Structure formats: structure tokens, C-alpha cells
Amino acid sequence: MKRIVYSMEPVGRTGGRVYLRMLHEATADDVEWRTVPDHKRTYRVRRWRKLRHLARLAPTIQALDSTTGTFVWDDLSLLLFTPEMRARTVFLLHHYEPLQHDSAPVEAMLWEHLFRALPQCAAVVCVAPYWADFLQARGVRNVRVIYNAFDMTEVERARGFDRTECRAEFGLSPDVIGVYAGKAVHWKGTEEVSAALADAPGLRVITSGSNTIGFDGAHYDVERERYLRLLCACDVGVFLPQMREGWSRCAAEALLLGLPCLIRPVAGLGDLATLTGQPAPDIGRLPAQVRERASARQTEAKAAYEALARFDLNYFGNAWGDLLAKVA
């Protein structure tokens, strides 16, 4: 008989939503997932959307109090849980970044209340050691790290793409170095990468996914298959976030597909850079660094790949399966 686990609906394209979808899929044989709508993702206007979300969600949370089963929760609405509900909850923290607050100044206070409530949970999962340390410094003891995972069958298939064909598909001539800078969204550092490389001949900054900053360079909002072909076409990854991220899926996937990277060691990205041996960018000499990284040895790319390849679906399913069995 499958155990029943409730979560927010894994709808959306952020790294957190990808992680939650992967969790649902990796544990589907043992878990009956029941989901609650994530209202905040339906509001076009960002201002106050988290408060509107909480108000709208309150009756649903109240009804869940009488259910059996456990919870995997990654939302401020944990504040609406009773202590008994929190005792059967695994809270999932990807990152905490005040730059992303849409309901300031109230939201900061809500987060502080959340951190004080987390010790009541059965467990707290983070996606990088930085965030485990962050929570433990706030008195949360039962913290474990379960990293982002990757479908290595998909990765191996993508590593077999014809790179010449991929480069032609995205208009990259042999004398151009494709510099992948991740998503063109706020606080990811895309503008900084673009500005630092603007006058450097033979370098083209490329972004993917959402474009919330109006980036007017080579941007591709494409389905998964073409995204992987885009990564295969590029030469170097440069990741310069101003925000504290979890464990960047874009950067990790670039490394898995063989791109040497420059990674600003901020929060979880610092853990990723250390694990895979990627140097930090120097803005003053970024064009030269990019050219140096483009000629990185294959042995270095192989080491980065091997460091990440162990985080496959078996690792992920086993880690979460063991945790959910203990909580149940």
C-alpha cells in the first residue's frame, strides 16, 4: 500500500519546481502524491502575491489537519500548519533570498517566523551544504542535504549530440565562443556577464528560459530537447548571481554536458564550484578568462562530470524514499 504524501502542486519552471516534480516521479512507486494549488504562481502582479496566496490557502490547510499522511512542504504556508501537522512534515528549503520578496516588509517577518517553526518539523531538507549551515545556525537541528539529481540517461544522450550540428542550429560559427549565462532573470547576473563581454570580439552571450530582464541578446526560450542542444552548442558557462541560490541546475547541467565554467561562489553555487573544481570569475579580465576556460583540458571536464554524475535518479529516489519512510 502506498503512503500518502501531500505537497504543493509542482507547476512552474524554477529549479524548485523541477526538484519537486522529480521527487514526485522518483517516488511514484511508493508514494501517492496529493497536491495543493500554488496560488502565488497564478498572480500576474507580484506585489503582495505571497500574502494573497496565504489568505487563499488557509481553508485548504485547515482541512488537511484532519487527514492522515505526511507532508513535503516548501512554502511559507507552513506557518498555517498546526504543531501536529508540522511533526509529520519534511520541509524543503532551496534558498532564502530577500531580493525576491514580493510582500515586503511583511514577508521578512513571515520568514523569521518560519525559521522559528522549522524545529517542529520531522526533518528539513536543503539542496546544498551552505543552506544546511544557514539553518543550523538558526537552531534547526534535523537538517540533511539531498542534492539536485539528474536523469543520467538523458544526459548521456545529450552528450552524444553532434556538436557541429548543434552550433549550426543556433548560428554559432567556428570562430565564435558561445558563453552560456543561464536564465535571463533578475539577480542571476546576466546583465553583468553581457556588459563585461560586450566589447570582446568572438564571444556571444547566450541565455535560456524566462527573460524577465528584457535581455536583447541571444536568448532562447525553448523546450527541453532544444535547451540541451543549446548547451551542447556552447563552449563556456559563466554564472554571476547577485542572489543566494540553492544549487544551480543550469550550472550543473552545463557542467554535465562538458562546459568548463566560471562560477561566482555565492551560497549554494559556492558548494557546486568547490565540488566540481570551477574557478571564480574576475570581472576585470572576464574575456580573457572565458577564452582560457574554452580551452580547458578534457581531463578537467571529465572530473567535473564524474563529481556530478553520482547524483542520479537512484541516489535521489533512495535518499528521499528512506527519509519519507522514517517520517511515516
CATH number for the region 152-310 comes to 3.40.50.2000
pLDDT tens-digit readout, 103-141 = 889 999 999 999 999 999 999 999 999 999 999 999 999
- Sheet strand arrangement including 31-36: 31-36, 3-8, 70-73, 89-93, 123-126, 143-145
Which pTM value belongs to this model?
A: 0.92
pLDDT tens-digit readout, 152-190 = 999 999 999 999 999 999 999 999 999 999 999 999 999
Q: What residues pair up with 145 in beta bridges, in sequence order? A: 126
Check residue 14 and give its pLDDT: 80
Q: Contact, 86 vs 65, CB < 8 A? A: no
For the domain with range 3-149+313-327, which CATH number is right: 3.40.190.10, 3.40.50.970, 3.40.50.2020, 3.40.50.2000? 3.40.50.2000
Check residue 237 and give its pLDDT: 97
Does 44 score more than 80 pLDDT? no
Q: Contact, 249 vs 148, CB < 8 A? A: yes
Q: Contact, 215 vs 190, CB < 8 A? A: yes
Average pLDDT over residues 251-280: 97
Q: Which residues of the chain does CATH 3.40.50.2000 include?
A: 3-149+313-327, 152-310
pLDDT tens-digit readout, 284-321 = 999 999 999 998 878 888 999 999 999 999 999 999 99
